[in-house]
Amino acid sequence: MLESLGSLTVTPWIYVIVALSVLLDVFVPVLPSGVLVIAAATTAAGTRTAAGAVGAASAGSSEVPDMLVLVLCAATASCVGDLVAYRLAWRGGDRLSRAIARSRRLTAAQDRLGAALLRGGGMLVLIARFAPAGRSVVSLGAGAMHRRAAEFLPWSALAGLAWAGYSVSLGYFGGQWLGATWLGTAVSVLALFAAGAGAAYALRRPVVPRQSAVAAAAGPAGG
């Protein structure tokens, strides 16, 4: 895989493949879009590091633009995919609700989404982008619940940029430190999974009703 990516990183096709993988990931969460982004960044960074070690002076000048293009490509595809899922769920909200109602697991996920939206608002979109399938649940749920686009899309763009920047940074530094190897990619992917586990834990936290929270903060009433 790394050998194939090594040849693709010097062509525009790597951006097309990354964009398609990230865009479709909202509909097929099992697609390894994060792994692909990290592997592409690791291979590009590791290849340029090796080239610089043998005196390729021009290699360093192209590292940052390539990484920035990869970040912007993944972030844009993430936001576009969220928007498509949001609009489809908005138009087919009733049908989607009936489909969700037939699945106990999806119903529980939608209930958690609604509670988390009340608790965290836009920050939920940002956190869920790192959780496994969290992007799908939030994008489809926001559309099915007819949340306003102004409440969802800016946070979707920020979430996509944060996720893409984090993933590319992991791959870049992994490639810089460990080279374009399976070890560099594996360490970076583990860091991405760790962030996903943390995000999933944050989304599963019990919700404290706001009135109860205010009462608790005020302390016991009376003397």
Tens-digit pLDDT profile for residues 152-172: 889 999 999 999 999 999 988
Nearest to 2 by CA among 192, 184, 189, 177: 184
Choice among 21-30, 72-81, 104-113 with the minimum mean pLDDT: 104-113
Domain boundaries, the chain: 2-53+60-206
Reduce the DSSP state of residue 222 to 3 states and report it.
coil
Tens-digit pLDDT profile for residues 122-138: 788 888 899 888 888 88
Nearest to 140 by CA among 130, 128, 150: 128
Distance between CA atoms of residues 103 and 94, nearest Å:
15
